Structure 1
Amino acid sequence: MVVLETERLVMRPLTGDDFDDYARMLADPEVADGLAESVGTSRADAWRSLATFIGHREIRGYSHWALVEKATGRFAGRAGPWRPYGFPGLGVGWCLARDHWGKGYATEAARAALDYCFGTLGATEVISLILPGNARSVSVAERIGHSHLRDTEYRGQQVHVYGQRR
């Protein structure tokens, strides 16, 4: 999996070394509650989630990247392409540790991931699943050019499908 760089972020493959930072991020209920992939907040939940993203990379050849601030070297979150079994299309997702909210990192990383999906993966459509009421993610989706396409059920939850075609 390639490493991407944006103006302020290094987007590199997630590894086991990210676990402590990843677990701290998901331990925040506000972070975990915003995810369409229901995760939970325990360290065991974080371990399973991280392993899922790493395993997805092994199966599909792509997955979410770790987002690392260039200026500080700090782990800021994850973002990238995603299409696990049963997902309704090639998706782009993002999750930021709360102390990195409001900096524009989600938009910056999602744009890079979207470009990767269209340019490298050859996608003709890319979607993002967003829980009802998650206005922050809707704002990110709209900033990267997504619009609301439809609503659907995913893993027992109602979600909004935002997306765009090439």
Structure 2
Amino acid sequence: MEILETERLVLRPFTGDDFADYAAMLADPEVGRFLGGTLSAEDAWRNLAMVIGHRVIRGYSMWALVEKDGGRFVGRAGPWRPHGWPGLEVGWALARSAWGRGYATEAARAAVDYCFDVLGAEEVVSLIRPDNVASLRVAERIGHRHLRDAELMGTPCLVYGQVRA
């Protein structure tokens, strides 16, 4: 899986060394609010293993997002399609300390381009809870439009996305 660079971020594959920062992000109630809740350290470990395993199985997965300036971990973003998922998704989640800086938009744009240019996707979607206003704005900034409503793991979500130009 490639390492991508944007103006301010490096998008690189996760490693076990990311665990402490990843677990801290997923333990934050504000971050977990739209991800189905906070995760304990044990559940964060399993989640990280799932992200890394997805890369092994599919050849792609979400990247760890780190700032170019200083290398601070700020979140995750990238392509994602577990078994039974309603499409190739570009997802994102940022540590609260990184909110409001445009990092989600920057990383999601790079991930959408990767899905079309490298993975050869015909459609890329993002599954967003209806009350997640910040992620809805990110989706619109990256060119996504509301495609349909869906239910994912018992939770209503909006499917935003775009097709290959």
- What's the TM-score, normalizing by structure 1? 0.97
Give the Cα separation in 2 of the matches to 1:79 and 1:10.
Answer: 11
For 1:118-129, list aligned pairs within 5 A: 118-129=116-127
Structure 1 residue 162, shift from structure 2 partner: 0.3
Q: Could you tell me how far apart the structure 2 residues matched to 1:133 and 1:48 are?
A: 27
- Report the counterpart of residue 71 of structure 1 in structure 2: 69
Q: The residue matched to 2:114 in structure 1 has which SS?
A: helix
Report the counterpart of residue 18 of structure 1 in structure 2.
Answer: 18
- Aligned to 2:56, the other structure's residue is in SS state helix
Contact 2:29 2:37 in 1 (8 A): no
Structure 1 stretches of at least 4 aligned residues deviating more than 3 Å after TM superposition: none
Q: Secondary structure at the match of 1:80?
A: strand
Helix, strand or coil at the partner of 1:85: coil
1:57 is matched with 55
Q: For 2:135 and 2:149, how far apart are their aligned partners in 1?
A: 15
- Match for 1:146 among 135, 141, 144? 144
Matched residue, 2:44: 46
- Name the structure 1 match of 2:29: 29
Contact 1:106–1:140 under 8 Å retained in 2: yes
Output the CA distance in 2 between the equivalents of 1:47 and 1:143: 32
Instruction: State how 1:90-109 maps to structure 2 within 5 Å.
Output: 90-109=88-107
SS of 2:44 mapped into structure 1 = helix
Alignment partner, residue 5 of structure 1: 5
CA deviation string 1:80-120 (max 9, x = no partner): 00000110000100010000000000000000000000000
The runs of 5 or more residues in structure 1 that have no matched partner are: none
Deviation for aligned residue 1:41: 2.3
Amino acid corresponding to residue 82 of structure 1 in structure 2: W
**Matched residues in 2 for 1:162 and 1:118: separation?**
16
RMSD (Å), alpha carbons: 0.8
User: Residues 85 and 39 of structure 1: is their aligned pair in 2 closer, same or farther, counting only changes over 3 Å?
Assistant: farther
Q: Aligned to 1:138, what secondary structure does the other structure show?
A: helix
1:48 deviates by 1.3
Count residues in correspondence. Answer: 164
State the AA in 1 paired with 2:145: S
Unaligned runs of 5+ in 2: none
Give the TM-score, by structure 2 length.
Answer: 0.97
Q: Percent identity?
A: 70
Q: After the TM superposition, which of the residue ranges 26-35 and 136-145 deviates more from structure 2?
A: 26-35
CA contact (8 A) 1:29 1:41 kept: no
> CA shift at 1:39, angstroms?
5.4
Counterpart contact for 2:28–2:38, Cα < 8 Å: no
